[in-house]
């Protein structure tokens, strides 16, 4: 939220417009926005959230005023475009939105003590990069959610393997991690997702 405010203080753009111009448009992320509430043209195709009880979220979803911290509306296809960009640029193979140094810094470990293991394994526990949980083979990713939704993104920059799984459920990480394990097994990744916290 601090970075969001710094960006707003230094430009005359709204946060959604700034991110659209600097990130979404250059990466072709056409189904992503930070607009709150969700614009009607995107709301028509958005899945409604589901509570842990199985009941739908009242109104379908909540508006997130803290846009940068939890207000991203996106699709797995769009989010994987971002992950691929970071992986490629960390190797100096793309220059769409980041410098190589910035991409490398984002997926390098900067903190290890007390990090909750959300994507790591017992042999390769999570550390923190800038905005991502990180590990061996330049593994980076994030788990996140808002009321009625949970999602997982994991990417291995060294190999280019990765997946984004999104669910419209408060217990979606359980299904998402099972699916992530199945993907890893089919494609021969040396990876097993940890149980959700």
Q: Which residue has the tokens 């959700």?
A: 196
CATH architecture of 2-187: 3-Layer(aba) Sandwich (3.40)
pLDDT value at residue 98: 93
Which segments of the chain have a pLDDT < 70?
197
Our CA angle for 93, 97, 99, nearest 5°, is 60
**Phi and psi, residue 27, nearest 5°:** -95, 0
- What are the CA-CA distances from residue 43 to residues 32, 35, 36, 70, 144 (Å)? 11, 11, 11, 17, 20
Closest Cα to residue 35, out of 20, 56, 54? 20
Q: Where are the domains of the chain?
A: 2-187
Distance CA 31, CA 34 (A): 11
139-146 and 149-156 strand pairing: antiparallel
**Residue 112 to residues 107, 125, 144, 157, Cα–Cα distance (Å):** 13, 9, 19, 19
Task: Give this prediction's pTM.
Answer: 0.91
């Amino acid at each position: 939220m601090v970075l969001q405010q710094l960006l707003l203080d230094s430009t005359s753009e709204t946060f959604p417009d700034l991110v659209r111009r600097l990130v979404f448009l250059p990466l072709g992320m056409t189904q992503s926005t930070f607009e709150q509430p969700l614009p009607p043209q995107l709301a028509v195709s958005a899945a409604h959230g589901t509570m842990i009880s199985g009941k739908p979220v009242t109104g379908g979803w909540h508006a997130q005023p803290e846009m940068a911290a939890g207000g991203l509306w996106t699709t797995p296809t769009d989010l994987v475009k971002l992950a691929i960009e970071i992986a490629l640029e960390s190797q100096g193979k793309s220059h769409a939105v980041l410098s190589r140094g910035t991409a490398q810094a984002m997926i390098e470990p900067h903190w290890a003590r007390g990090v909750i293991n959300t994507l790591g394994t017992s042999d390769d526990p999570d550390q923190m990069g800038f905005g991502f949980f990180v590990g061996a083979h330049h593994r980076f990713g994030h788990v996140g959610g808002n009321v009625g939704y949970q999602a997982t993104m994991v990417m291995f920059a060294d190999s280019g393997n990765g997946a984004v799984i999104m669910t419209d459920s408060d217990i979606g990480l359980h299904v998402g991690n099972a699916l992530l394990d199945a993907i890893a097994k089919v494609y021969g990744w040396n990876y097993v997702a940890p149980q959700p916290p």
